[in-house]
Amino acid sequence: MLKKLSLFSALVFTAFTTGACGQLSTKCPAKDQVKTSVKEFIPQDFTVESVSQLKDIKGLCEVVVKVGAQPLVFYMDGEGRYLLAGNLISLKDKKNLTRDRQQEFMKVSAEQLKELEKHVNIKLGEGSKYLYFITDPDCPFCKRSNPLVEDWAKKKGVQVRVIFYPLPIHPEAFGKSVAVICDKKGFKEYAEGYTSKNQCEEGKKAVEANLQLMNKLGISGTPTFVGMNGKMHSGVPTEEDLDKLVN
């Protein structure tokens, strides 16, 4: 997602620091201290959402930052001198504590929801409930998601608002996205991989604006779903995943 994020994975230091009398420190660095310490590793603007002492691991603090709507979770010692990146797994119950914590913060603000609404390219279905489907016409995981989303939306009476986000790894996806917009096609044509030579300026500008918004929100992959309640889901969803976005 972030060009320098891989540095986090490489920077695995000893995260524990001793305090007085050999006891582990139970304090955590302040948010301002965290931001100053890690800003060179995160090239985009970010906010420090939470800094808290891990309940079961004394001396280790959990840090949650957000780049746009994307949460990142890592760990620091109480003095803020060392950083530990990677997944923290509970061996007792086999839970990925890092991933679970990220999911808690996977949410956009009311203002970001309003911004997403301005970038909707096509819609599927009707209903008072809705979600945003951020997709790439050539993404294999999006193609797997299309029939699942269509069936779910029809069954639950939910409107799907589609935003095209063609990734650089799919060189034809940008043109396909533009063609659907310019030729005023719908979900059916998008799902079938519709393309044409109609690459109107209106369509190009719309897709370029989408790319800029996704970069701002820190969304780097497809499919990504954003619910009317602000919650997010990345990857091929289940019905239960989609239900959580509109309830």
Q: Which residues pair with 226 in a beta bridge?
A: 132, 232
**What pLDDT sits at residue 8?**
42
Q: Which residues pair with 18 in a beta bridge?
A: 24
Q: Which residues pair with 131 in a beta bridge?
A: 160, 227
Q: What angle, 0 to 180 degrees and rounded to 10, lies between the N-to-C axes of helices 201-217 and 173-182?
A: 120
Region 216-244: what's the mean pLDDT? 94
Continuous segment of H or E residues that includes residue 175: helix 173-182
Residue 82 near residue 76 (C-beta atoms within 8 A): yes
Q: Domains of the chain by range and CATH?
A: 6-104 (no CATH), 110-246 (3.40.30.10)
> Which residue reads 């599927």 in tokens?
124
Q: Which residues of 89-118 are buried (b: 16+ CB within 10 A; e: fewer)?
A: eeeeeeeebbeebbbebbbbeeebbeebee
Among 223, 209, 69, 221, residue whose Cα is nearest residue 150: 223
Region 53-73: what's the mean pLDDT? 91
- pTM of the predicted protein model: 0.77
Dump pLDDT digits (tens) for 123-174.
Answer: 999 999 999 999 999 999 999 999 999 999 999 999 999 999 999 999 999 9
φ, ψ (nearest 5 deg) of residue 153: -60, -40
Region 176-199: what's the mean pLDDT? 97
**What pLDDT sits at residue 14?**
36
